[in-house]
Structure 1
Amino acid sequence: MARFISNTESTNQTASEFLLLGLTDSPELQPFIFSLFLSIYLVTVLGNLLIILVISSDSHLHTPMYFFLCNLSFTDICISSTTIPKMLVNIQTQDQSITYAGCLSQACCVLIFCGLESCLLAVMAYDRYVAICHPLRYMVIMNPRLCVLLVLLSLLLSIAHALLHSLMVLRLSFCRHLELPHFFCELAEIVKLACSDTLVNNLVVYLVGSIFFGVPLSGIIFSYAQIVSSVWRISSMGARWKAFSTCGSHLSVVSLFYGTGFGVYLSSAFTNSSIKNVMASMMYIVVSQLMNPFIYSLRNKDMKGALKNLMQDQSITYTGCLSQDFFAQVFLILENCLLTAMAYDHYVTVCHPLMYTITMSPCLCVLLVLVFLFISIVNRLISVLNIQIHYNMETRNQTAISGVLLLGLSDDPALQPLVFSLFLSMYLVTLLGNLLIILAISSDSHLHTPMYFFLCNLSLNDICLSTSTVPKMLVNIQTQDQSISYAGCLSQVSSVLVFSAMESSLLAVMAYDRYVAICHPLRYTVIMNPRLCVLLVLVSLFSSIADAMLHVLPVLQLSFCTHLKIPHFFCELAQIIRLACSDTLVNNILLYVATCIFAGLPFSGIILSYSRIVSLILKMPSLDGKYKAFSTCGSHLSVVSLFYGTGLGVYISFEVTDSPEKTVVASVMYSVVPQMLNPFIYSLRNKEMKDALRKSMCRNNSLL
């Protein structure tokens, strides 16, 4: 961003926008061009969406070849959506301008999706090579994991390729009257308009372009050379025709894509006619994506059969039915809530006109919509969760799931009274300590500040987190019954995930609060206003619930064996996934990715906040000032170290050791001990809290 600003300033902001001259400047032809490109765009989007719909709805097409075709169709939609809508808007508004940032973004997106299409065509060629040359090993080689990996690798390479070109453009200076004789921002045309030396850019364009598009094309040629060599060894003409017929659609798409791409290169290199360049680019960017659905639907027997079945089929899948009901009910509830909000808006307008702009501030309006959307989604998710649980119980005959066993800390009967007493004491201390924190903050007006508001929410969250796990364990020990229902187990998992993620988010918010208090003390009350504080807590809650739902809903798709025993004192997500009989690859990937996001982002925020705080404090000349600034962060740093330190211990014990005892002990340290110690940390290390607690005690004694 800094580089972009410096470039803009250095060229006297002449590169603030470009003009896309389009296909023609004749006003009479504009309605025709608009209608033509709108029709092309709609056909492209609908055709490729139909391909995706057919493949996803027909189980016979759930093969590697059609998985890659599905991704190719999605890429075609993205390429068309990157260029045509902006052109249509320009024609409709009679405004040919596009911002510098918008132009670079469009060029970058075109490079990404064109590069991705090139890579996908190479991957599809490799798929055909394996299918024809190694048919017996096809399903082993082209396994789902490899297919997903090939698509992700293609996407990453395409992004790297596009970023390399886009970043090179940022170093260029541009003159005035920046007119692109094109209907979209093409990299070669942008480079031509530069006033500075473009030798390096042109070298990168041709060199990297040759490598990035040449390697996939070489892979396609090599794959088909092997295919032709293998097919010619087949004695039967019928078998030869059958083998070649599976490649017909792909070869047509490859010829169209690389043929038009080669035409763009030739027209750009050997002619200065802008009209010819535009026509060549249109064939490459627009026509290829338009024709692909027709090629695969008209030349492919399986696709034609699936399309016919889709048109004649009146049924809907169980998942499709649930999804349809979910969205219908969400938008119905949301509409009802929005009508209530609009009624409140009219009430404020009529009854409090002078306070209208203050009461109905933009922040409140956005907050109301987000809250209503959240309520609508959660309401339906709970319903879907219940339906899915009953469906799993009935369709999979999972009688054992209704009786999951929590083995607890020890199976030694002699230790059960000790474990019961220990955990009961810890739970009561946690409950009373955090309630005392909440009571002290709410009763002392001096503590009605953002920091203590967040501390109050943290204490409430600690109570909820302990209540999600410890009481059930105490009941199990007391009744000598280790079972928990399937629905109860999933509910416990959800609660633990929600409150653990909420604690992580609140600690990040509290770190941001300390950063503002120390680095911007004069603006503290303005920045950390009550609305922002409430909004930060609500966002933390919403993201925590989303994280929990993201983990729990995929668990509903798993199949479980009989005699489910969890070597733990509560239902932990990782332990449940381990017990599944079905494939858990997606669940494990989701577990680690979501954990890295929902735990990593808050932790990164905490590190960033404290790095800024430390940087500022070290510049202070006074030792007393340094000590005072650090002292306001001591309690928070202790809680952060305890929470993330024990969380890291759980992760390490789970990954490094197979010992259930060590994993359980680490989880106790993570889910029970921090919640018990937090009140002590904030009451013993915080002078204001000690004074508030002392006043509260004195007030209670006087009342007695």
Structure 2
Amino acid sequence: MEPGNLTGVSEFLLLGLSEEPALQPLIFGLFLSMYLITVLGNLLIILAVSSDSHLHTPMYFFLSNLSWVDICVTSTTVPKMLVNIQTQSKVITYAGCITQIYFFSLFAVLDDFLLTVMAYDRFVAICHPLHYTVIMKPRLCGLLVLVSWITTALHSLLESLLLLRLTFCTNVEIPHFFCELSQMAQLACSDNFLNNMVMYFITVLLGGGPLIGIIYSYSKIVSSIRAIPSTQGKYKAFSTCASHLLVVSLFYCTSLGVYLSSAATQSSHSSAAASALYTVVTPMLNPFIYSLRNKDIKGALKGFFGMEAIKKELISTMLVIAICLKIDHAIFFPTSQLHHMRQGNDTPISEFLLLGFSEEPELQPLIFGLFLSMYLITVLGNLLIILAVTSDSHLHTPMYFFLSNLSLVDICFTSTTVPKMLVNIQTQSKAITYEGCITQMYFFILFAMLDNILLTVMAYDRFVAICHPLHYMIIMNPRLCGLLLLVSWIISGLNSLLQSVMVLQLSFCTDIKITQFFCEMKQVVQLACSNTFVSDMVMYFVTALLGGGPLAGILYSYSKIVSSIRAIPSAQGKYKAFSTCASHLSVVSLFYGTSLGVYLSSAATQSSHSSAAASVMYAVVTPMLNPFIYSLRNKDIKRALKRFYGMAGTKGTIIQR
């Protein structure tokens, strides 16, 4: 196993609550009962909300999401514990442990975020009742849930990747019934300072932040309730948030109790028993708290049990999964007969080795599934943007013309790296031919630079639209748009050709291991055993020119945009003007933030796996998030997608005939 250095373990031992054989049947029965009650109770909440149209409100929408997350957070820990008791085994594989940590962190923090969102919902309902439906509209509710999922997923990914860089030696006993992050970090025999700092910082940020939001919401709620003159009105207002307040108190009190008990006692079994309170007991009690005090839920459950048929909402999901499983993933660079390349001197190598993230065989299915999912989401999301723009004549404008080209580039950008990585994992090979490496490097630089220049062109488009709205159609005519796109392709192509030719002049000897999941130019140049001074100078000059130039153009455009927006007298006008460039600004921040983060991380750490993990952010995650950023805040795109889906159904019928 090689997350960082060689990790000499392939599995861990979960000691559980007790090692006494006589207690195992009791523990098994107790946790099985709690797990079944948790799943059944929360499932009934979801079914009640989905089957009753009267409960299709923001409060119950968030409640059904909370119930779903409660099922998931319990399912990450209890089933494995029950299997271990039944098979009289305490073993969990390394890959299984990392996977469990990822999903447990994901759903635990998501639980916290959803409780905060529900507190905000109650705040709006009680403090601003007349504007409740206007503020808490479906778009905002969906956006709040989506942001919660994205934030928690990125947090879990960060924690898991940091854990992969640690090495583990002989101590493989985890004094818990599941793989807990802090326990795993304590077992590492390598330096875990960075892990601890990140873990404490994120705990304060993602734990304290939502708690402050909840406290603030309830301080305003209490003030509003106290201002109500009648006792009956106060009781009615407070009853709408009593269940949520109980769940919040239960969640934070049990979480706090676990960490206080682990700090106060050295007994591992006491700490594990305390953990059962917030990992098992709290999700089990939530449906009881919400249903016993809620007439709407009880009425919906009665109506649900009286129905003859249950809605089949999972069919579409299963169809999508089936389609994804049938996608041919044999997209890779040619593996022709190996031969020596000639560039300047004779280069005595015919291939490189892409080390990727980890050499542990048991981790490969996890990495394969994660990257395949992100790749499919990237291709599908950006393809939908392209189809929406091309199929709707209302979107044949300069802004959407550049957006569709950006989506095409994002698909190509991801396709230069991920398919080869997936093929290597599937074939259990790390080799990439010399020709394949140069080709991959060429197209990666081409599309990365093209992404950067297109973002600059889109910033100029927004500058003209906001600062010169009356002359927009005259300035941004089709000829100029095509010319800007052509110049972008030419500059990016020449830059990629120059960089590739500089690499071809280098000679390589015995060290052929690239500590990345793709051929990155900087890594390849460092492997050369010939003089790399010219290549380094060209690389740094081009990076400063073609990286700093577009960034300066974007900053200048937005400085003018901000000045123009500030000059607009009405608040509504300012909001409307800013909303037209908010999505682009988010994408630019994501692109430059992740790119800067990669190079800062590679400069700050010597860990090759940390550098490779950081590269994922701008090479895979950013292209995946771009279509979500543009579509969720854009009514035109969503309307075009709805029309496209309607057209697709009609076309499918005609084709069959």
**TM-score normalised according to structure 2 size:** 0.54
Q: CA deviation at 1:592?
A: 12
SS at match of 2:308: coil
> CA distance change for structure 1 residues 517 and 269 in 2, over 3 Å: closer, same or farther?
same
The CA distance in 1 between the partners of 2:220 and 2:324, in whole Å, is 59
Partner of 1:585: none
Partner of 1:34: 28
Q: CA deviation at 1:187?
A: 1.6
Partner of 2:272: 278
- Unpaired runs of 5+ residues, structure 2, are 342-348, 352-371, 421-429, 466-471, 486-657
Partner of 2:642: none
What is the number of residues matched between the two proteins? Answer: 431
1:534-573 paired onto structure 2 within 5 Å: 573=391
SS at match of 2:298: helix
**Aligned amino acid, residue 223 of structure 1:** S
Partner of 1:574: 392
Taking only the aligned residue pairs, the percentage that are identical comes to 46
The superposition leaves residues 546-574 of structure 1 with CA deviations (integer Å, 9 ceiling, x where unpaired) of: 969x969x99xxxxxxxxxxxxxxx9533
- Whether the 8 Å contact between 2:12 and 2:91 is mirrored in structure 1 is yes
Partner of 1:70: 64
Partner of 1:314: 308
**Aligned amino acid, residue 126 of structure 2:** I
- Whether the 8 Å contact between 1:515 and 1:613 is mirrored in structure 2 is no
Matched, 1:148 2:142: yes
> CA distance change for structure 1 residues 227 and 270 in 2, over 3 Å: closer, same or farther?
same
- Whether the 8 Å contact between 2:3 and 2:166 is mirrored in structure 1 is no
Q: CA deviation at 1:33?
A: 2.1
The superposition leaves residues 110-164 of structure 1 with CA deviations (integer Å, 9 ceiling, x where unpaired) of: 1221111111111111110111001111122222222222222222332343344
Partner of 1:185: 179
The CA distance in 1 between the partners of 2:337 and 2:139, in whole Å, is 49
- Whether the 8 Å contact between 2:12 and 2:94 is mirrored in structure 1 is yes
The superposition leaves residues 500-558 of structure 1 with CA deviations (integer Å, 9 ceiling, x where unpaired) of: xx9xx99xx5xx4557578899999xxxxxxxxxxxxxx9xxx99x969x969x99xxx
Partner of 2:2: 5
Bigger radius of gyration, 1 or 2? 1
Partner of 1:601: 411
The CA distance in 1 between the partners of 2:269 and 2:40, in whole Å, is 29
* Aligned counterpart for 1:46 among listed residues 40, 48, 53: 40
The superposition leaves residues 37-64 of structure 1 with CA deviations (integer Å, 9 ceiling, x where unpaired) of: 2222222222222222221222221221
- Whether the 8 Å contact between 2:251 and 2:282 is mirrored in structure 1 is yes
> CA distance change for structure 1 residues 664 and 89 in 2, over 3 Å: closer, same or farther?
farther
**Aligned amino acid, residue 573 of structure 1:** S
Partner of 2:199: 205
Partner of 2:238: 244
- Whether the 8 Å contact between 1:18 and 1:180 is mirrored in structure 2 is yes
Matched, 1:176 2:170: yes
* Aligned counterpart for 1:85 among listed residues 74, 79, 89: 79
Partner of 2:652: none
**Aligned amino acid, residue 88 of structure 1:** L
- Whether the 8 Å contact between 2:45 and 2:67 is mirrored in structure 1 is yes
> CA distance change for structure 1 residues 60 and 101 in 2, over 3 Å: closer, same or farther?
same
Q: CA deviation at 1:247?
A: 0.5
- Whether the 8 Å contact between 1:72 and 1:120 is mirrored in structure 2 is yes
* Aligned counterpart for 1:101 among listed residues 81, 84, 95: 95
- Whether the 8 Å contact between 1:18 and 1:97 is mirrored in structure 2 is yes
Partner of 1:114: 108
* Aligned counterpart for 1:20 among listed residues 14, 30, 40: 14
Partner of 1:255: 249
Q: CA deviation at 1:86?
A: 1.2
Matched, 1:195 2:192: no
> CA distance change for structure 1 residues 83 and 138 in 2, over 3 Å: closer, same or farther?
same
Q: CA deviation at 1:102?
A: 2.2
SS at match of 2:28: helix
**Aligned amino acid, residue 143 of structure 1:** K
Superposition CA RMSD, Å: 5.4
Q: CA deviation at 1:170?
A: 3.9
> CA distance change for structure 1 residues 310 and 607 in 2, over 3 Å: closer, same or farther?
closer
The CA distance in 1 between the partners of 2:410 and 2:192, in whole Å, is 41
The CA distance in 1 between the partners of 2:105 and 2:11, in whole Å, is 20
> CA distance change for structure 1 residues 93 and 310 in 2, over 3 Å: closer, same or farther?
same
**Aligned amino acid, residue 260 of structure 2:** L
Determine which structure has the larger helix proportion and give its number.
1
1:337-376 paired onto structure 2 within 5 Å: none
- Whether the 8 Å contact between 1:8 and 1:14 is mirrored in structure 2 is no
The superposition leaves residues 470-508 of structure 1 with CA deviations (integer Å, 9 ceiling, x where unpaired) of: xxxxxxxxxxxxxxxxxxxxxxxxxxxxxxxx9xx99xx
> CA distance change for structure 1 residues 120 and 593 in 2, over 3 Å: closer, same or farther?
farther
**Aligned amino acid, residue 228 of structure 1:** V
- Whether the 8 Å contact between 1:161 and 1:212 is mirrored in structure 2 is no
- Whether the 8 Å contact between 2:126 and 2:221 is mirrored in structure 1 is yes
**Aligned amino acid, residue 292 of structure 2:** L
Q: CA deviation at 1:95?
A: 2.0
Instruction: Using CA pairs under 8 Å that are at least 6 residues apart, name the structure with larger relative contact order, 1 or 2.
Output: 2
Quick check: 269-278 or 139-148, which moved more?
139-148
> CA distance change for structure 1 residues 577 and 287 in 2, over 3 Å: closer, same or farther?
farther
Q: CA deviation at 1:75?
A: 1.2
The CA distance in 1 between the partners of 2:89 and 2:300, in whole Å, is 44
Q: CA deviation at 1:239?
A: 0.8
Partner of 1:232: 226
Partner of 2:531: none
> CA distance change for structure 1 residues 666 and 258 in 2, over 3 Å: closer, same or farther?
same
1:594-673 paired onto structure 2 within 5 Å: 600-602=410-412, 604-606=414-416, 616=434
SS at match of 1:182: coil
**Aligned amino acid, residue 605 of structure 1:** S
Partner of 2:648: none
Partner of 1:268: 262
Q: CA deviation at 1:288?
A: 0.8
The CA distance in 2 between the partners of 1:593 and 1:257, in whole Å, is 43
- Whether the 8 Å contact between 1:58 and 1:306 is mirrored in structure 2 is yes
Partner of 2:120: 126
The CA distance in 1 between the partners of 2:403 and 2:80, in whole Å, is 35
- Whether the 8 Å contact between 2:334 and 2:436 is mirrored in structure 1 is no
Partner of 2:50: 56
**Aligned amino acid, residue 92 of structure 1:** Q
- Whether the 8 Å contact between 1:54 and 1:306 is mirrored in structure 2 is yes
Q: CA deviation at 1:74?
A: 1.6
SS at match of 1:5: coil
Partner of 1:492: none
